[in-house]
Each structure stands twice: as structure tokens, then as C-alpha cells.
Amino acid sequence: MDAQKKTVDARSAVVFDVDNTLTPPRRPLEPEMAAALQHLSVPFFVCAGSDLRLIAEQFIEPLHRFGYRGSFEAFVCNGTARYHCKLFEKLSTELVERFEMCSHMGEARFQHLMQIIEHALKLPEFQLPSPMRIIGDKIVDRISMINVIPIGRPREPLGNETYANRAFFKEYDERTGFRRRFLKHLRQECSRLSLEEIQIFLGGETSFDVVVQGYDKSYAVRSVLGRGFERLWYLGDALFEGGNDTAILTFIDTWQGTHPCPVKAIQVNNWQDTLKTLHTLKLL
């Protein structure tokens, strides 16, 4: 790498979504991707909808096992909780900062929001037919956001039964538009009940991310830009309407700097597509 490229790359970075961008959906990182991350020519950050426990299981721990050595920052819970991750002989993660949704909204408004979600999940039109089952928690308070999972989220690592349940739900959702209908309902209820600051996105293949406006994935991008990077690529699989990566598109569209927005958002379809994109961008 010549001196000029080193200078350019020193001011550039890439921010990755995790699920279905760096890994297969809710499955561990593949060794080919771990090797690619070790050889990136620019620093990288990850920005995930899931919490640290899930991201550690799905991405950080496999990355360490496959031999990655280095450090990076992980913005989890839809970008609003930042951890410094050190992967050397030992693996360590340290919380740097975290937004607290309940404190920001106030206890009464936060509980009102939870009641809206609980009521929606009980409506007849949102009951799931067999063979789907509820496995785990349907509402998870992640402190900086709320995750809503109509089929439930197990607290233990996913097994064959849970993967089969996810597959049933994904097929049902694609056939009936279940998540789009549920998303529309929740958004309408929040607007009707004066919770305009609440934003709701599709998360992964089975869930919904409920966040406070501005405390979404754009929070991570703002944080990275605040460190002096002059060019960012954001790679994610949910840059479609309603997806939780669309906060990045809103950030770009509403950019008010004196120079063009330094962030470019790129839609990918899976982790293999991410690898192809990195080669196209000449970051590998």
C-alpha cells in the first residue's frame, strides 16, 4: 500500500450492520468473513440491532476463535450502546456509553409505550397460527431500546426447534405481510397517543426495534464522524423502507454540513454480498 493510500485510508472507515450483513441470519460468523475483517485496509465498526449478549454469541466470540486480533467498537441495541472490544490473547468488552430510553422518556411515558406494545401483541389479527410457537420473551427491554418479537426470543442459544420456528415465521411473514401490518399498527398507535418521538423499524427477520428518534443507528455514525473520519461506508441489509438501517439514509438526506455528506450507505443482501462489496470498494 503506497503512502498516499495510507493517508486516505487513515481518514476513512467502514461501519457494518451484523445480522445478514457480516453473518448469516441469527447464525455465527463464517471463517471467511473473519479473515476478511482481519485484512481490511481501513478501520471498521459494527452497528447492530441486537444487544451485546447476542452479538457476542453471533459475531464477537466467533471472530476471536477464528484468530482475529485487534480492537474495534461495537454499537449495539440499534446503535445506542457503545462497547470497546479487545480481541487479543483474551477477549474483553467494555461499556463506554449507553443511552437510557426510560430515563429519557420518563417512567410514565415509557410504561405507556410498553402497554401499547403489549396490547397490540394480544389483538386477534396478530395471533400466529400453528405450527408456530411462542418461544421465549415477546418484549425485551434493552435499556436503550425495546425489541418486540412476536414469536419470542429465547434467552439461551438458538437450537434446531427455534431455527425451525423462525423459518415458519419468515415464510408466513413473506406470504401474509404480517410484520408490515404490525409495524403500521404500532406506528399509528404511537402517533395517535402523542408518542411522536418513537420510531419503529423492522429488525432482522422476525422482530421490531422500538427506539427514540435520533437514538438509532445514525447515533453510531455521528459518533464515528465525531472522531475525525472524513469518509464512511455503511453496509447493511435493511436499507429498505421500514428497515432499521434506514436511519442512515435519513441521516444522509438531512445532512446540513458545508461539504457533501461523507457517509455512503450500501445495501447488501447477505454476508457473501458484503465480501463482494468490500472487494469492489478496494477495501480488501
148's CB contacts (< 8 A; 6+ apart) are 117, 121, 138, 139, 140, 186, 207, 208, 210
Query: Which pLDDT does position 96 carry in this prediction?
Result: 97
The one catalytic residue among 17, 51, 216, 245: 17
pLDDT over 60 at 43, yes or no = yes
Residue 186 banded pLDDT, cuts 50, 70, 90:
very high
- For range 162-178, the mean pLDDT: 95
Average pLDDT score, the chain: 93
Strand order in the sheet with 12-16: 91-98, 81-87, 70-76, 44-47, 12-16, 231-236, 263-267
pLDDT over 60 at 58, yes or no = yes
Beta bridge partners of 199: 211
The one catalytic residue among 2, 9, 19, 173: 19
Query: Which pLDDT does position 10 carry in this prediction?
Result: 65
In the numeric block, the cell 449507553 is attached to 98
Is 237 annotated to bind a ligand? Reply is yes
Residue 17 among the catalytic residues: yes
Task: List, in order of start, the domains of the chain with CATH numbers.
Answer: 3-99+215-280 (3.40.50.1000), 104-212 (3.30.1240.20)
pTM recorded for the entire structure: 0.87
- For range 119-137, the mean pLDDT: 95
Contact 255, 115 (CB under 8 A): no
Residue 19 among the catalytic residues: yes
Percent of the chain whose pLDDT exceeds 90:
86
